Each structure stands twice: as structure tokens, then as C-alpha cells.
Chain A
Amino acid sequence: MTAPTRRLFQALFIAAAALAFAAPAAVRADAKDDGKALVQRMADEVVKILATQGIDRAAKEARFRQILAQNFDVPTIGAWVMGPPWRDATPAQRTEYLKLFETYIVKVYTGQLSTYSGEKVTVTGAEADGSGVEVTSRIADPKNDRTIELKWRLRGAGKQLKVRDVVIENISMSQTQRREFASVFQQRGNSVDGLIAALREKIAELDRK
């Protein structure tokens, strides 16, 4: 091995070691602040979209899709929501399902968010949550004179933290969806294709109205 190559390998080794040790430590120290910043940024973006006049539903959904892809770990959530059938699903089924799952989530959130009239999300804190962070926030519900507590559970995905679950007043969205998908899977003859068909039908239905 020539000297320059050896130096290159040494440099690479040092860099790899630095990444392996320093990076997680850095994430740990700043994770709470990163998590809070992520949730606040996301909430502000959503409020901005909702407040924009004359924006049609397709455009709104396109913006939400961007926000979702940037901040949510959609593949991990989607696989988990499908549950045990994921293990036996073919690569083609997985790809198709994840594509539909993302579209479905975008439509669900677009609908839910449209019932809010632009109340601000206030980030109230963050705490360690397993290997990640849980960010707590509040949103006013002026119609009912109360505040709703939202918790965002984040985990590292690559270099960035991403949302794995949103917990509204102690109700986990991922958990609810997983139970729902399990029920649909069963009704559709315990078949992944059946579940995919149900998702596709639901998306078409949501597009109609």
C-alpha cells in the first residue's frame, strides 16, 4: 500500500470514527431543541398554507405532501401500520402500498386541518423518549373553550429527526390506523392486495367529495 493511499484510509477511518461517535452525541445534546424547532417550523408552514387565500385543494395537498415527506418518517410509519402482513408483502406490493399510504395520509390531514381556523400551535416542551425525543405542544380549540395537547414522537432518520407518531390527547394516530388497517386486511380476505385495493378506493372516494 502506497503512503498516500494509507493516509487516505487513515483519514477515512478517522472520519468514520468521528461520525460514529461524535454525531450521535451531537444529536443527543441538541435533539430536544432540534425537535422543538422542527415541530414549530412545521406548524408555522401549515398555518401559512391554511391562511393562504384562493389556494385550491390540489395545491394545498401538494404543499402538505412536501411537509409530510420532509418531516415524517412515512416509510417506517406505513410499514408498521400495515402490521404483520408487511413481512410477507412483495417488493412491488410494498412500493405500491407506501405510495398510496402517503397519499391517504396527505388527504386525511388536509381534511382534518381544514376544520381548524388557523389557531397557532404552541410548542411547550420536549423530553427524551427512548432513543429519540417527544415534543409537546398545545393548540387552542376556541369552539369548545379548551386546549388540545399534541405530542410528536421523533426519531433519527439519517441525519435528521423525523416524526414517527402524533399523539392527540393521548390518542396515538399510528396506533389507531394500525388497528383500522388490520381490520380492513381481515375483511379483504387477509390479503395485501385487498388492503391496497381498499386504500385506492378510499382515496378515490376522498377525491370525489
Chain B
Amino acid sequence: MTGMHGKALRFAALAMVLASLAACATAPADPAARAEFERANDPIEPFNRRMFAFNLWVDDNVGKPVAIAYRDNVPKFVRDRFRDFYDNFQSPVTFINDVLQFESGRAAETATRFWVNSVFGMAGFWDVAGQYGLKKHKEDFGQTLAVWGVKEGPYLVLPFMGPSNVRDTAGRVVDSFSNPISYFLPPVGAWLELAGGIIDRVDERAAIIEQVDELRRTSLDFYAAVRSLYRQNRESEISNGKIKKPPLPGEDE
């Protein structure tokens, strides 16, 4: 459990640093500039940009090279087994959040997937349920808070973890404590959460190597592009893909 306390302490320290920085930001006086400032939802942009640059440096030197090595050296079969296992291991978190969001149908789906894959999929290494049409989905506590009506709060770039906002950062803290498997199987669960979490990050990074390279190469402002992508992607996840149509060129503001 010391690991979890460590996590909580790190988040508390981070929240304090951010709160002190947030106090320094000032909005521009010009109305158009002010509207833009509010739309960007990024009052601590100078700090976020520095953190973003730091994360890019980490990604250039560790994240991306490791992801490339993983994709090139670990056979796809093994990567798929790991992906299925880890998603199954973390699916109780999704289940809890399905329930908290009053999505009974999706909760039942997640529960069925969990026991089918745990029993017939060799402890989750095979996504058997997915092959029978019960597709996997993910929910986290940040999304639950959003469903409950909690606003996102200012945009935040977290060290090592990347784009977030105040609401989703709080959600991450809760998610890191909320997997019941970690309580039922303390040493194994904690170990799986740590090691699994690292491989999960590598695997997710490996899935978007070319896309990230391309976006970084072509974007006019990579930081602003990622900020917008993060927000749009979260809106899509929160609404489970049933997103209202985005504003359209020539018709909206």
C-alpha cells in the first residue's frame, strides 16, 4: 500500500504547485482575445507549454524508442495477449464507472465480458467475449464526474502523463485506487497494476507512432493541436461516441 500513498502524495504536491501557478494567470482585456483565451481553457498555458516540452523530450528519448522496440521485437500475438489480459484486469474499474454513470446495459456487458474472459479466456489473455460480439469499452472516473455534471476545469499538462484537466486529474487519482482486484490480491494486484500499467503505456504509444510523427511534422502549433485533440477525444469518450455535432465551417460562430 505504500505505493498508493506515494501516488497520493505526488498528486497532492502537484495540485499545490498547479494551484499556485493558476493564481498568476491573467486574462487579456481585448474582447476578441479574451474570448479566445476562454475558449482555449488554458489559463496556465506558459507552464503547460513547458511541461509539454518536457514530456516531448521524455518521449523522444524514452517513450518513442521503447515503443518502436516493443512493436518491432515483440510478436503481435504476444502484444495482443498482453493487451487483452491487461484490459480484462482493469475492466472492474470500467464496471464501477458504468454503474456510477447509471449505464446498466453497459455495466452488464462489462461484467459478462469479465467473467467470460476470466474463465474461458484463460484469465483474460484471450478476449473471447469480444469475438462473440461483446466489444470492449473503457470508462474512467473522469468521465463519471463529467456525466455527473462536473466541469472539466482548466487544461493541465501532467508530467509524464500528458494532457489532462483538473477533473480528469482527480479522476486518475480515484482510478488508481479503485481496482478491486488490487484489494483482493494485494501483492499480485499491486504488481500487476504497476508492471501492467507500464506495458500498457508502451503498447498505446506503439499504436500511434506514425500518427504522432505526422501530426508533429505538419501542425502549425503542435501544442495547440494536442490540446484540441484531447478535449474533443474526451467529449467523445464521455458521450460514448454519441457526440453532438461539432461546429461547422460557414455555419457556427
Contact = CB atoms under 8 A, between A and B. Distances in A.
Given A112-B214, A165-B248, A176-B228, A181 B220 contact: yes
B211 A107 contact: no
Interface in B42-56: none
A73 B218 contact: no
Given A111-B218, A190-B33, A165 B246 contact: yes
Nearest to B247: A175
Given A107-B218, A206-B217, A206-B218, A76 B250 contact: yes
B245 interface: yes
Interface residues of A, number: 47
B12 interface: no
Interface stretch (A29-37, A49-57, A77-85, A91-99): A77-85
A187 interface: yes
Interface stretch (A5-13, A14-22, A166-174): A166-174
Interface in B23-47: 30, 32-33, 35-36, 39-40
A172 B36 contact: no
Binding site of A, secondary structure by majority: helix, strand, loop or mixed?
helix
A79 B221 CA distance: 18
B225 interface: yes
A80 B232 CA distance: 18
B220 A202 contact: yes
B218 A174 contact: no
Contact of A112 (B218, B227, B245, B249): B218
Nearest to B80: A145
A171 B249 contact: no
B228 A180 contact: yes
Contacts of B235: 170
B42 to A, nearest CB: 9
Nearest to B236: A170
A175 B246 contact: yes
Nearest to B210: A115
B220 A184 contact: yes
B224 A183 contact: yes
B223 interface: yes
A180 B225 contact: yes
B231 to A, nearest CB: 9
Interface string B77-110: 0001000000000000000000000000000000
Contacts of B250: 73, 76-77, 79-80, 155, 164
A27 interface: no
A179 B251 contact: no
Contacts of A153: 245, 248
B227 A174 contact: no
Nearest to B235: A170
Contacts of A167: 246
Given A111-B218, A115-B210, A73 B243 contact: no
B207 A198 contact: no
A61 B241 CA distance: 34
28 contacts: A73-B249, A76-B250, A77-B249, A79-B249, A107-B218, A115-B210, A129-B245, A130-B248, A143-B207, A144-B207, A145-B80, A153-B248, A155-B251, A164-B249, A164-B250, A170-B243, A171-B232, A172-B232, A172-B247, A174-B248, A176-B232, A179-B227, A182-B40, A183-B40, A183-B223, A184-B221, A186-B33, A202-B220
Given A130-B245, A130-B251, A172-B246, 9 more contacts: A73-B249, A79-B250, A85-B32, A164-B248, A165-B246, A170-B232, A175-B232, A179-B228, A199-B220
Nearest first, the 9 closest Cβ-Cβ pairs linking A and B are A80-B249, A170-B236, A183-B224, A179-B228, A76-B250, A172-B246, A180-B224, A108-B218, A77-B249
